[in-house]
Chains A and B, each alone.
Chain A
Amino acid sequence: MKKYFSNPSFLTGTIIFASLLLFLLSGSIFNRCDYDAIDTLNKFAASSKEHIFGTDYLGRDVFARILMALRISYSVGFIVMISGLITGIILGALSGYFGGIPDSIITKIVNTQMSFPGILLSLMLIAVFGNGTFITITALYIMTIPKFTRIARGGFIKYKNSLFVTAAKSRGAGPLRLLFVHILPNIVPDLTVTATLNFSLSILSESGLSYLGLGIQPPLSSFGRMLNEGQRFILQSPSNVLIPAVFLILSVLSLNLIGDGISSVNQK
């Protein structure tokens, strides 16, 4: 763990990530405003004791909305990451370790999914199944499966014929034990990098979908939605765009720096 913290990218990323989490926690404790309380008499209020970040075009407290958006971003990113990771490991094990027909089917499907640029696949699913938090998470989850599967598959192929696996096999270890007790720990470093980068990518995609009005639906707040609403009133109140933009960039940046740091330490 020490070698990770001596890497500047990892250290900076962790510090930003920890401060954001701390901000979220302490903010949620001390925050008294409702994120959805409309107060039209108090539109575009400047920063004050009551509203630290001011208010938006409906007079809603921006601070409370940022807290909610941060919470949603992190939960969406985290759920998508964990479920994508598990699915990727299972599919990767199936195709990488066993090979044959399951391998060619899974590889073909993964390649097909890769040919939908950006958030197009998510958009297609949202078009068919309607929008909402659950559909957003599902759509992003399906979008992340290919990346995890590729990494896991590569790892399982790399190690399946190595000496320690053959040795374990000759002692009578079954395929499940070989896969998850012997091989999996070796590909954890690679998977961690993919997982962190995916976490940040899901936050990005979620905000993109919400910006289009197709992701998280009101009354819940989300960075994308706040940016969209802020853009309409950018003349009256630039801070309504700048504040969510800064928080969104910081959350993505911190995770990318962490992923970057882990991968450069692993390569050494």
Chain B
Amino acid sequence: MNYFIRKIIDFLITIFLVTLLTFFTFNILPGNPATAVLGPDADEAQIKILEKEFNLDKPLYARYLSWLFNAAHGDLGTSYRFHQKVNSVIADSIGVTLSLSIFTILLTVIISIPLGIIMAVYNKNPAIKALELTDQIWISTPSFCTALLLIFIFTLKLKLFPSMGFVKWSSDPGRCIKCLFLPSLSLALGSSAILARYLKTDFLEQKNKNYVKTARSKGLSSFYVSTHHILRNSIISVVTTLGLILTEILGGSIIIENVFALPGIGKLIAISISSRDFPLIQGLVLYLALFTTSCNFLIDIIYSLIDPRIKRRHV
């Protein structure tokens, strides 16, 4: 079967399972959501009305189907806490999380690609060797620990960046970058250590290949060969790793947003869990999982476009 068609079918099945899992986790709970909303001393008539509104009088599969139908039309119900449509609550905070993720990925790429190349090219230099030993420390440090250390250095000692709050890009771009710098740096340090390491390993492997020797014997400089020949081949491993890192950044931002009090998805998740706002959590989980699934799907596709050999390998 065609590689792309198979990938698309896999993608659709995963999406179906994600919706199934999200719906049923929130519906296997004992107890009646209607009483949970109204409190213990609600009267019968009120409960009946709310049950009708939540479709609780219908069987589970019918509720799933109607939930799926509404979700596909962009209606995920009303948040208990904010008394707004779940979609509009999420739309208000998704911008923060997106800008945080984009900023983090930019920082990761800016830090890790030069670092990876330097580590590969000068891999016999003792100073670089020492640097390599520290990369396991960066990988092991949880992002919120890094965040606290960065707050300690940059906010308390140097007073350069704010440790909490967020300003919209549209109102003041400079302040927006200032607010996002520490959170994204704390996420990016860990992920760039991983990416630099992958790049280094791949780079060293490519360095001994025949095409590099040919290019060098033509008289091209070592720098030119590194940037124009080897890097182009190593970029494949960078893209795959970046895909894995993207989901990690998204997961990490759940905690980081709470460290820096950024009003994004992560903050919303913490609020909705502590106030037991089920429609909102359900919507958030669904969106994040669908986003990750789509990203993984896109990376598979991009991967096979960059390197056509992959398609054949899987048949």
Q: Which of B258, B274, B276, B292 contacts A117 (CB 8 A)?
A: B292
Question: Nearest residue in B to A235 (C-beta to C-beta)?
Answer: B156
Q: Does the CB pair A127–B142 fall under 8 Å? A: no
A103 to chain B, nearest CB (A): 14
**CB-CB < 8 A to B121: which residues of A?**
none
Q: List 27 A-B contacts (CB under 8 A).
A: A108-B13, A112-B14, A115-B289, A115-B292, A115-B293, A116-B285, A116-B288, A117-B247, A120-B251, A126-B273, A127-B278, A207-B142, A208-B255, A212-B255, A231-B151, A234-B148, A234-B151, A234-B156, A241-B152, A242-B152, A245-B145, A248-B145, A249-B140, A249-B142, A249-B145, A252-B140, A256-B136
The stretch that binds A, out of B22-30, B64-72, B208-216, is: B22-30
Q: Knowing A108-B13, A115-B289, A252-B140, say if A128 contacts B149 (CB, 8 Å).
A: no
The answer, yes or no, to whether A227 is at the interface (CB within 8 Å) is yes
Q: Does the CB pair B288–A260 fall under 8 Å? A: no
Instruction: Please report the C-alpha to C-alpha distance between residue A118 and residue B270 in the assembled complex, in whole angstroms.
Output: 14
The answer, yes or no, to whether B46 is at the interface (CB within 8 Å) is no
The answer, yes or no, to whether B203 is at the interface (CB within 8 Å) is no
Q: Does the CB pair A108–B251 fall under 8 Å? A: no
Instruction: Please report the C-alpha to C-alpha distance between residue A252 and residue B293 in the assembled complex, in whole angstroms.
Output: 28
Instruction: Please report the C-alpha to C-alpha distance between residue A116 and residue B272 in the assembled complex, in whole angstroms.
Output: 18
Q: Does the CB pair A112–B18 fall under 8 Å? A: yes
Q: Which interface residue of A111, A126, A207 has the most chain B CB atoms within 10 A?
A: A111
The count of residues in chain B whose C-beta lies closer than 8 Å to any C-beta of chain A is 47
The answer, yes or no, to whether B141 is at the interface (CB within 8 Å) is yes
B241 to chain A, nearest CB (A): 15
Contact with B along A98-122 (1 / 0, CB 8 A): 0000000000110110011111100
**CB-CB < 8 A to A115: which residues of B?**
14, 18, 289, 292-293, 296
* Band of interface residues on A: 35 or more
B170 to chain A, nearest CB (A): 27
Q: Taking beta carbons and an 8 Å cutoff, which residues of A are in contact with B?
A: 9, 108-109, 111-112, 115-120, 123-128, 200, 204, 207-208, 211-214, 224, 227, 230-231, 234-235, 238, 241-242, 245, 248-249, 252-253, 256-257, 260
Question: Nearest residue in B to A200 (C-beta to C-beta)?
Answer: B140
**CB-CB < 8 A to B254: which residues of A?**
118-120, 123, 212
Instruction: Please report the C-alpha to C-alpha distance between residue A51 and residue B151 in the assembled complex, in whole angstroms.
Output: 26
- Residues of B115-146 contacting chain A, CB below 8 A: 136-137, 139-142, 144-145
- Residues of B9-39 contacting chain A, CB below 8 A: 10, 13-14, 17-18, 21-22, 25-26, 28-29
Instruction: Please report the C-alpha to C-alpha distance between residue A108 and residue B10 in the assembled complex, in whole angstroms.
Output: 9
Instruction: Please report the C-alpha to C-alpha distance between residue A117 and residue B292 in the assembled complex, in whole angstroms.
Output: 7
Instruction: Please report the C-alpha to C-alpha distance between residue A208 and residue B281 in the assembled complex, in whole angstroms.
Output: 18
Instruction: Please report the C-alpha to C-alpha distance between residue A208 and residue B276 in the assembled complex, in whole angstroms.
Output: 19
Q: Does the CB pair A128–B26 fall under 8 Å? A: yes
Question: Nearest residue in A to B293 (C-beta to C-beta)?
Answer: A115
Q: Which of B13, B17, B142, B251 contacts A248 (CB 8 A)?
A: B142
Instruction: Please report the C-alpha to C-alpha distance between residue A214 and residue B140 in the assembled complex, in whole angstroms.
Output: 22
Extra contacts, 14 of them, besides A241-B152, A256-B140 (Cβ < 8 A), are: A115-B14, A116-B18, A117-B247, A117-B248, A117-B292, A120-B254, A124-B22, A211-B258, A212-B270, A242-B152, A245-B145, A245-B148, A253-B136, A260-B136
Instruction: Please report the C-alpha to C-alpha distance between residue A214 and residue B274 in the assembled complex, in whole angstroms.
Output: 8
A211 to chain B, nearest CB (A): 6
Q: Does the CB pair B149–A245 fall under 8 Å? A: yes
Q: Does the CB pair B273–A127 fall under 8 Å? A: yes
Instruction: Please report the C-alpha to C-alpha distance between residue A224 and residue B139 in the assembled complex, in whole angstroms.
Output: 18
Instruction: Please report the C-alpha to C-alpha distance between residue A262 and residue B32 in the assembled complex, in whole angstroms.
Output: 51
Q: Does the CB pair A256–B250 fall under 8 Å? A: no
The answer, yes or no, to whether B252 is at the interface (CB within 8 Å) is yes
**CB-CB < 8 A to B255: which residues of A?**
119, 208, 211-212
The answer, yes or no, to whether B269 is at the interface (CB within 8 Å) is yes
Question: Nearest residue in A to B294 (C-beta to C-beta)?
Answer: A115
